[in-house]
Amino acid sequence: MKNILPLFFLFLPFLLVAQDFAQDSAWIVDNYDKIEQYIPMRDGVKLFTAIYVPKDKTEKHPIMLTRTPYSCAPYGKDEYNNRLWNRQDRYYMRKNYIRVFQDVRGRWMSEGDFVDVRPFNPNKKDKDTDEASDTYDAIEWLINNLPDNNGRVGVKGTSYPGFYATMAALSGHPALVAVSPQAPVTDWFIGDDFHHNGAFFQMDGFSFYSSFGKPRPEPTTVGPERFQFPTPDNYQFYLEDVGVVKNFNAKYLGDSIAFWKDIMAHPNYDDFWQARNPRNFVTDVKPAMMVVGGLFDAEDCFGAWRMYEAIEEKSPNANNRLVMGPWYHGQWSSQDGSYLGHIQFGGNTAFWYQNEIEIPFFNYHLLGEGDISNLAEATVFFTGENKWHVYNQWPPKGQVDQTIYFQPGGGLNWSKPTQKESFTEYISDPENPVPYTDGVHLRRTREYMLDDQRFASRRPDVLVFQTDILQEDLTLAGTVIADLLVSISGTDADFVVKVIDVFPDDFAYENPKDDYPMGGYQMLVRGEIMRGRFRNSFENPTAFAPNKVERVKFELPDVAHTFHKGHRLMIQVQSSWFPLVDRNPHKFINIYEANESDFQKATIKVHHDQKNSSGIILPVLK
């Protein structure tokens, strides 16, 4: 293991210049021409593409491509995209990159029909298309029609464009030399955006598809209108106004949102979802890959960890790297990565990443400049410690899976409990579900990923287990696994497990950003939900036998965190996470078709004795 020092200060003079966005925007407009071009695909469909070309003709320029369903606006040859100077794109423009944005098939100004997370077709023939072939055809046109390009192409994108970056890597175009899927949409049933372990993330799903999912019959520059919520209180809206999931269609969506209907028609991990999992297809990846993600990304934390892992497994000879920082969704592209919510990270991690990692990666592969021999296989920021670490693999060598067991009375210990029969129980009430965060608000917060959990630990339907005060640092590096032995009074239930860092009562930041009381703060390090019916199989769900002890074992996305000496490690267990996730009626029925009358209270027992020893398998870094 090698520590990377907080090097962002070395770049301060350059960064101050880079922050002069007005100066950058004027320079870019003066030194670039914009071309708007319809690029033909192999089946005759034309995709709208905005191309920013440097006026400098003294050298050949690399091409940086982003394909997006979110529009390559603004439209008009004299209208320039402001991301060219208010994000790290400004660095590429200063190096005279050709910057290209493309509306994907069926979105905005592009022709054709849009398909959400369009499945990859490994057996394309003739004029068959998918997102990989569309990328191939776009690159082919660009390198053959832009006279001053150097024949090297890079692709990057965040979130949904991260999915298209993954698809680009599967295109096989020889000019594509470097790809960076950033927070890539990867598996919408197992861990990204709209489902986690089969549980429906209704807030994100409805907020997104109530606008994004509206049909677009013809190319347009005008986006869909957003849904106007009748109340600023999302807890009230989803519990009282919506109620059961089937009411989304009946009350608010109608019958026009195609992918919403697909979600409702595929409640299990069937062929529909598996075809939309690009992890199944990342074999023989040729470009240099750099997967980027955020430890506190509420949308696609899963996708970053698991896409890197899938490439490692299926393309073992690929030049594949991982970068994970202490970020919300896309924060690595922002102007500030020094904090999130009430938690501070000790420096501007976003600028550090942009200057030390991303820009050198693409400059090396597309311009042949610099030396990236020091760019590690895995560059990961550890919260708590607030330091970057580099490794030649992830999880790192020295990481050992170690189970910490629930104890009677709410303790946590590395030894199994000794009691012959012991459990802690709570009543899960669908009419009074546990909120996912504190306070009244409308939009799903990004800060909930590390919010203070004291509000939840005070509820009777949230179990709390914690260690004594730690006598030495405890560092976790890798996948957390919940291993619960439970019995329930119904035939189905959800299980939410939260890994929490409890700060000392006298804790305070040296330079606080606000007056929030940090003493005793219960920082969410990682939380995840499991829809219990999928405990044995995501493809073939099974009911619980009432009051029978059964194992519910599932993964939480990886963590990189140090619990300092003087802190405590806490685990919380609950059966609702509302309105982030739809409610479980505690009956083994199709929840998407459930009526209000189907919802019932359930008694949940979490067992912790010699025979049935519930615990959490932690990736301890020795």
Interval 432-450: pLDDT, tens: 999 999 999 999 999 999 9
Q: What is the pLDDT of residues 104-138, one digit of tens each?
A: 999 999 999 999 999 999 999 999 999 999 999 99
Question: Is 523 in contact with 529 (CB distance < 8 Å)?
Answer: no
Domains, the chain, in order of start with CATH, read: 2-187+276-391 (3.40.50.1820), 203-274 (1.10.3020.10), 399-621 (2.60.120.260)
Token pair 């919403």 in the structure block, residue: 260
User: What residues contact residue 83 under an 8 Å CB cut-off, 6+ apart?
Assistant: 89
Q: What is the pLDDT of residues 98-111, one digit of tens each?
A: 999 999 999 999 99
CB atoms within 10 A of CB 4: 16
Q: What is the pLDDT of residues 245-265, one digit of tens each?
A: 999 999 999 888 999 999 999
Question: Is 33 in contact with 57 (CB distance < 8 Å)?
Answer: no
Q: What is the pLDDT of residues 295-339, one digit of tens each?
A: 999 999 999 999 999 999 999 999 999 999 999 999 999 999 999
Q: For residue 596, what pLDDT is reported?
A: 97
Question: Is 571 in contact with 616 (CB distance < 8 Å)?
Answer: yes
Q: What is the pLDDT of residues 364-410, one digit of tens each?
A: 999 999 999 989 999 999 999 999 999 999 999 999 999 999 999 99
Query: Is residue 2 over pLDDT 70?
Result: no
Least confident of 12-16, 340-344, 519-523: 12-16
Whether the ω angle into residue 360 lies within 30 degrees of 0, i.e. cis, is no
Q: What is the pLDDT of residues 559-593, one digit of tens each?
A: 999 999 999 999 999 999 999 999 999 999 999 99
Chain-centre distance for alpha carbon 413: 31
Q: What is the pLDDT of residues 156-187, one digit of tens each?
A: 999 999 999 999 999 999 999 999 999 999 99
The rounded percent of the chain whose pLDDT value lies above 70 is 97
pTM, to two decimals: 0.95
The Cα–Cα gap between 134 and 171 comes to 8
Joined tokens for residue 389:
């670490």
516: exposed, middle or buried (Cβ count in 10 Å: 0-12, 13-18, 19+):
exposed
End-to-end alpha carbon distance in the chain: 11
Average pLDDT, the chain: 95
Q: For residue 10, what pLDDT is reported?
A: 33
What band does 3 get if pLDDT is binned at 50, 70 and 90? very low
Q: For residue 438, what pLDDT is reported?
A: 97
Query: Is residue 4 over pLDDT 60?
Result: no
The Cα–Cα gap between 120 and 106 comes to 17
Token pair 């590690």 in the structure block, residue: 376
- Region 200-226: what's the mean pLDDT? 96
Question: Is 380 in contact with 326 (CB distance < 8 Å)?
Answer: no
- The better pLDDT of the pair 493, 513 is held by 493
What band does 20 get if pLDDT is binned at 50, 70 and 90? low
Q: For residue 110, what pLDDT is reported?
A: 98
Query: Is residue 7 over pLDDT 70?
Result: no
C-alpha distances in Å from residue 273, one per residue of 195, 246, 356, 403: 11, 20, 37, 32
Q: For residue 369, what pLDDT is reported?
A: 96
Question: Is 196 in contact with 302 (CB distance < 8 Å)?
Answer: yes
The rounded percent of the chain whose pLDDT value lies above 90 is 95
Whether the ω angle into residue 74 lies within 30 degrees of 0, i.e. cis, is yes
- Region 10-14: what's the mean pLDDT? 35
Helix axis angle for 160-169 and 131-145, nearest 10°, is 70
The Cα–Cα gap between 102 and 156 comes to 12
CB atoms within 10 A of CB 83: 14
Q: What is the pLDDT of residues 473-510, one digit of tens each?
A: 999 999 999 999 999 999 999 999 999 999 999 999 99
- Region 412-431: what's the mean pLDDT? 97
What band does 23 get if pLDDT is binned at 50, 70 and 90? confident
Question: Is 356 in contact with 292 (CB distance < 8 Å)?
Answer: no
The Cα–Cα gap between 96 and 427 comes to 62
Joined tokens for residue 227:
């849904």
